[in-house]
Amino acid sequence: MPENRVDRPQQTLYGSESDNGLEATVSLWDLDFKLLDSSKRFKEHIGLTPRSEVSLWEAYSALATPALAELVRHVIDTGDPRTIQLADPKRGQRNLLVSRIRVGLLIVETQGADEALSPEDNEKARLIHQATHDVLTGLPNRRQFSAALEQLLPVTGKIGPALMQLDLDDFKPVNDTLGHGAGDMVLKLTAERITKALGRGGTAYRLAGDEFAIIQVGPQRAVEAERLAEALLAEFKKPFTINGISLFVGVSVGIAIAPRDGNEGEQLMKAADVALYAAKKEGRRRARTFDPAMLIVVEQRELLRRSLRVALQLDEFFIEYQPLVEPPSNVVGFEALLRWRHPTLGIIPPAAFIPMAEADGLMREIGQWMLEEACREALAWPEHYTLAVNLSPAEFLTPGLTDRISQTLDVVGFPAERLELEITEGVLLERTINNLDTLNTLNVLGIQISLDDFGTEYSSLSYLKNFPFDTIKIDRYFIRDLLQDSKSQTIVRSVISLAHGLGMRVTAEGVETQQQAAWLQQEGCDRLQGYSISPPLGADKLDDFIRQGARTPSATSFDKFHASP
Ligand code: C2E
Ligand code: CA
Ligand code: CA
């Protein structure tokens, strides 16, 4: 009776070999001819211990002869696979199918056969390649990534390989708005750019969606890894041209180095992930190297993230309203500002949770709640007051936005003419044609559009020419030092005249003193917003403000509202 084998086939990057019937001896080499991975049979043949480093020339010493080494070079340079026959006194005739794949060389060895590799062997090699590579980009896949990490770690020395996690910054909007075909193009081009930046300095993998990873083989110091990351970032400064449209898709990079940041695959990945998150949080399109201090922030963030998911159901959001005045003090409307009252952490400012909500795909729902609730509350105001609502980029880019807004206005019974939507320039960068459509549709509905935070982002004047804005809101950055800095004065003056020349209104944000207000009034600024008029107001204070403001419309009558809420 045959012995019943119970040991499971070893999981390697080639899968459980007996599972898929692949019994070939397979080895994978990087371009420095170091062994990256191999099948179990290969290891048995050359008597490898799991961690020992082996070069191609050690494993196949015959290949080191000038003629055969030349042939190997030829495969690398041209990508043409070659079959090499070796006559081995101990092991008989062997055939090596040597082919170039993205990470290096793939060698499939068959034994004993008289001539070249059979079509079946070629098919085996093809299947192996398929199982270990991502079809779209041709990069090795996650499975191969895990196997490579397992192979390389743990290290015994002080420095080991560097791991980089990469994540595209603006991939989702591309996929959502230009379609999957365009998304696929971006991913393919991304793989090419990564490979280009890498040169021979490491191996790139596609882990999932728009997530990639790089393993920098050989001992790495942080500076070397960071230098590579800089080269990567530089590759992504150029636009991608997809179907004739230019788009900028950035990349964020998290770096972790073994054994310092982790000497096991999973640990090192977690560290790189944390670093990636830090890079995203610091404004994306940058690289960060793991630092244990980053962990604290992540844990707090995980806590917040979990409670954010249920905040809407638990009714934890509320809205404050900040008045907008025509100088000196004629109230024209209010900007709705979202607030989150966390059960234990207290009030959390929108800048802290909106980016998180966007990243987790929650912003559409929260934004919808916000719009509906603000419109309902504004119905109770005197009819000549307008309501301004902010739209985050993720909301603006969701399909069906205009329908959703007009439906909401219908359901609530709030007139479109009283609604103003505030968007930032960042939104307009991404897909020009549809943006223009969206803005035009909103315009036709009678809704006003304000360009928020003007002067802080890209501030391309072409936006002003091409998009139908009603109002430009000058960012508070220019207002803050208005009276001390003549450059800010020049900028604000120019923006006012530019806007007026284009038939647009100007609102100054962050007006904190009466002097700033007076200067802005004198320069012809149409509207003011800021603590000197009033901070954002909760429901009760808003009622008082409206009653008070309606009776005595003078700047000083608002003084009592200056105290912080
Ligand atoms: P923003 O649209 O520029 O809103 C104005 C911010 O400036 C508000 O901060 C407001 O409280 C603050 N502010 C008002 N007057 C002054 C002043 O005189 N001096 C200073 N230093 N600050 C002043 P807040 O409420 O923390 O909002 C921050 C940002 O969060 C907003 O910037 C907006 O981009 C976003 N946001 C707020 N609510 C929403 C919302 O419902 N949806 C979306 N998508 N974004 C929102
Ligand atoms: Ca705003
Ligand atoms: Ca603003």
* pLDDT reported for residue 444: 94
The residue to mutate among 321, 335, 337, 372, having the most atoms of ligand 1 within 8 angstroms of its beta carbon, is 337
Locate 356 and state its tokens.
């998180």
pLDDT the model gives residue 430: 60
Q: Are 184 and 70 in contact (CB under 8 A)?
A: no
- Separation CA 176–CA 36 (nearest Å): 37
Which ligand number lies closest to the CA of residue 394? 1
Distance from Cα 422 to the centre of ligand 2, integer Å: 6
361-373 pLDDT tens trace: 899 999 999 999 9
How many C-beta neighbours within 10 Å does residue 241 have?
11
Rg, Å, the chain Cα set: 31
- What integer pLDDT is reported at residue 559 of this predicted model? 45
Cα–Cα distance for residue pair 86/377, rounded to 1 Å: 83
pTM, entire model: 0.58
For residue 77, the CA-to-ligand 1 centroid distance in Å is 57
Instruction: Tell how strand 251-257 and strand 287-289 pair up.
Output: parallel
pLDDT at 431: 58
* Amino acid at residue number 118: S
pLDDT tens digits, residue range 107-118?
Answer: 888 776 544 556
Over residues 57-67, mean pLDDT:
81
How much distance in Å is there from the Cα of 397 to the middle of ligand 2?
17
Average model confidence (pLDDT) across the chain: 84
The amino acid present at 176, given as its one-letter code, is: D
Between residues 48 and 225, the one the model is more confident about: 225
Strands, sheet with 287-289, edge to edge from the N-terminal-most edge strand: 203-208, 211-216, 162-168, 251-257, 287-289
Mutate to test the pocket of ligand 1, among 324, 390, 408 (most ligand atoms within 8 A of CB): 390
Highest mean pLDDT among 73-87, 111-125, 171-185: 171-185
Binned at pLDDT 50, 70 and 90, residue 405 comes out as: very high
Here the tokens at position 287 are 């690289």
Q: Encoding tokens for residue 510?
A: 């962050």
Q: Which protein residue's CA is at the shortest distance from atom 17 of ligand 1?
A: 510
Ligand 3 centroid to Cα of residue 390, in Å, is 9
Q: Tell me the pLDDT tens digit for each residue of 186-237.
A: 999 999 999 999 876 788 999 999 999 999 987 678 888 999 999 999 999 9
Ligand 1 contacts (CB < 6 A) are: 322, 337-338, 349-351, 354, 367, 370, 390-392, 422, 452-453, 476, 509-512, 530-531, 536
Instruction: Please report the pLDDT score of residue 112 as a whole number.
Output: 61
The predicted pLDDT at position 377 comes to 97
Asked whether 162 and 256 are in contact (CB, 8 A), the reply is: yes
Domains of the chain: residue spans and CATH = 11-132 (3.30.450.20), 142-292 (3.30.70.270), 301-540 (3.20.20.450)
Cβ contacts of residue 512 below 8 Å, gap of 6+?
479, 480, 530, 531, 532
Tell me the pLDDT band of 334, cut-offs 50, 70 and 90.
very high
Residue 353: how many CB atoms within 10 A of its CB? Answer: 23
Closest residue CA from atom 19 of ligand 1: 510
